[in-house]
Amino acid sequence: MDIKALESFNWGAMTPEFIIVGVAAVLTLLDLFMPKNQDRRILGWIGIVGIFAALISVMGMIDQGTVSILNDTFRLDGFGKAFKVLLLVGAALVMFLAVSYEPKDGMKEYHGEFFYLFLTALLGAMVMTSSGDLITLFIGLELLSISSYILAGMRKRNDASNESAMKYVINGGISTAITLFGMSYVYGLTGTTNLLSIAGQLQSLADGQHVYLLGLAFLMIFVGLSFKLAAAPYHMWAPDVYQGAPTPVTAFLSVVSKTAGFVIVIRILLSVFGVAASEGPGSAPILYKMQDYISFIAAATMIIGNVVALKQTNIKRMFAYSSIAHAGYILVAFASMNFIMFDAIWFYLLAYLFMNLGAFAVIQLVSEKTGTERIADYAGLYRRSPVLAVAMGILLVSLAGFPGTAGFIGKLNIFIGTFAGESHYVLASIMIATTVISYFYYFGVMTQIFFRPAADESKFNIPFGILVVLIVAVVASVLFGVAPNLALDFLHNHFNQFADFLQ
């Protein structure tokens, strides 16, 4: 490719990615040359400014048409822009948590690395949202994954952090190998890695042996990506990693990384298997034939996540199983495969972003104050800090899916989606039953907060970063529960119903 061809591309489509790359590079150099005894939190504030600049850039391109550059390997379509908004908002809130993080285990010397590794992980997630090629999807996935492995083990002198990073690397490596093996089958059958070219060729697939191989490819890719989503039974790594990682990293993995996981699942499975004919031209796509497998994973994820969460005494492990359960709810929307699937998934991820990050803000502050992560340490929080207690109560109610909160609207959209088109009564029933089960462990935390005596009456000082996250999270959780059309109208008015997803 010559210089004229490169100059002809509309590089403005990659402005948000260029901003994140530039800020990450600046933070790396600043951290390298700053005196060792200087507070690295200034790097976090620079990172926050960079994330907001990238978010403003995305918002400025919302009403533009689809832009495709680099031989269609990078696509700025409605899907990419909608999910970049989620990723950037989530990343900004995580960075607010990070600048307020006060580790007591010697991690302060690595605080600078903490910030720019966040940005490289975010960059990988953003690349995935706009990838139109299996190779760029894989590059984005690995950029996110490798940065996350390092972040999970950032507390080098903490045994739990070391263990979590090792388990994360091993499980992540296995899942990557399985995913890549499945992608290789798709490439072998079509001779191309471009998603649109693959879709065009597979629409007329007629050879029974090729259909069989493509079915194997689907199972390998779906299983490999299920590790990234922490979907059962591939969730084994999540509780240990969530418990051992620094709290801002746990928040990042539970929200931003999970959103990126669903992005790549939708990009690959819909683009490739959503159009591949299962029995010759004109037949139902392979993806529809695989609905039962997706539904089984969704059901198992909801059941295992919610049931095992009941027995947890460590709050970060409890939230790990809660995160597994929420992945199951979103998989229900994906398994339904109807016209409201995109809306249901996007809104649920938006609601989950706010209510989960707000809860982790409280967890971070209480853990730093008490030195432990036991649920019992939340006893009497209402007396020690009414603001934290009320905020945590609202967020837990939203996570449980009570009416008047964003969590309820998110679950309601998914529940209604199970009856749009082909009905999925079993999935809908399991979703209701497991939601009821979740009330027990969410309200168990609330019982400690409001109805148990405090062992320590000392008050909490809420840092600015934590306060910002709490205000945004609580307001959004209530606002989108009372007026969900604010988010849904924004989605419908600016992203053209994702009509350009396969164009």
The neighbour count for residue 457, using CB atoms within 10 Å, is: 9
Residue 2: pLDDT over 70: no
Task: Give percent above pLDDT 90 in the chain.
Answer: 57
Q: What is the pLDDT of residue 34?
A: 85
Q: Hey, what are 336's tokens?
A: 């339904």
34 φ/ψ angles, rounded to the nearest 5 degrees:
-70, 145
d(CA 444, CA 452): 11
pLDDT of residue 492: 87
- pLDDT at position 144: 94
Coil, strand or helix: which one is 374?
A: strand
Question: Which tens digit of pLDDT belongs to each residue from 100-139?
Answer: 888 765 555 567 788 999 999 999 999 999 998 999 999 9
**Tokens representing residue 104 in the block:** 């007591």
Q: Taking 60 as the threshold, does the pLDDT of residue 140 lie above it?
A: yes
* Cβ atoms 401, 477 nearer than 8 A: no
Which residues on adjacent β-strands are paired with residue 131?
74
**Residue 388 scores a pLDDT above 80:** yes
Give the pLDDT confidence score for residue 159 in this predicted structure: 80
Is the pLDDT confidence value at 391 over 60?
yes
359 contacts 399 by C-beta, under 8 angstroms? yes
In angstroms, the CA 188 to CA 181 distance is 11
**Cβ neighbours, 10 Å, residue 444:** 17
- What tokens appear for 56 in the block? 């403003």
pLDDT digits (tens, 9 = 90+) for 222-251: 999 999 898 988 888 999 999 988 899 999
> 313-335: string of b/e by CB count within 10 Å (b at 16+)?
eebbbbbbbbbbbbbbbbbbbbb
CB 181 within 8 A of CB 252: no
- Identify the pLDDT of residue 371: 81
Query: What average pLDDT does range 419-446 have in this prediction?
Result: 91
- Give 295-354 pLDDT, tens digit per residue: 999 999 999 999 999 999 999 999 999 999 999 999 999 998 888 888 999 999 999 999
pLDDT bucket at 6, cuts 50 / 70 / 90: low
**DSSP codes of every residue in 120-156:** HHHHHHHHHHTB-BHHHHHHHHHHHHHHHHHHHT--T
SS3 for 409? helix
DSSP states along 82-95 = HHHHHHHHHHHHHH
Taking the whole predicted model, whether its pTM rises above 0.85 is answered as: yes
Q: Where are the domains of the chain?
A: 290-503
Q: What is the mean pLDDT of the chain?
A: 89
Q: pLDDT at position 259, please?
A: 93
Q: What angle do CA 438, 356, 347 make, to 5 degrees?
A: 90
Buried b (16+ CB within 10 A) or exposed e, 125-161: bbbbbbbbbbebbbbbbebbbbbbbbbbbbbeebeeb
Q: Which residues contact 458 (CB under 8 A, 6 or more apart)?
A: 369, 384
What tokens appear for 424 in the block? Answer: 């999925």
Phi-psi category of 404—alpha, beta or left, where left has phi over 0 and alpha has psi -120 to 50?
left
Give helix 425-451 / helix 291-309 axis angle, nearest 10°: 20
Taking only the tens place, the pLDDT of each residue in 249-286 is 999 999 999 999 999 999 998 888 888 776 766 677 88
Helix (H, G, I), strand (E, B) or coil at 407: helix
Chain segment 449-495, per-residue pLDDT in tens: 999 887 777 788 889 999 999 999 999 999 999 999 999 999 888 88
**Is residue 200 predicted with pLDDT exceeding 70?**
yes
- Say which residues have a Cβ less than 8 Å from residue 300's Cβ, sequence separation at least 6: 231, 232, 233, 328
What region does 463 belong to: left with phi over 0, alpha with psi -120 to 50, or beta? beta
Three-state secondary structure string covering 228-273: HHCCCCCCCHHHHHHHHCCHHHHHHHHHHHHHHHHHHHHHHHHHHH
H or E segment and range at residue 68: strand 67-69
Instruction: Name the percent of the chain lying above pLDDT 70.
Output: 95
What angle (nearest 5°) sits at the alpha carbon of residue 349, between those of residues 335 and 117?
120
Which residue in this structure is represented by tokens 């002809």? 8
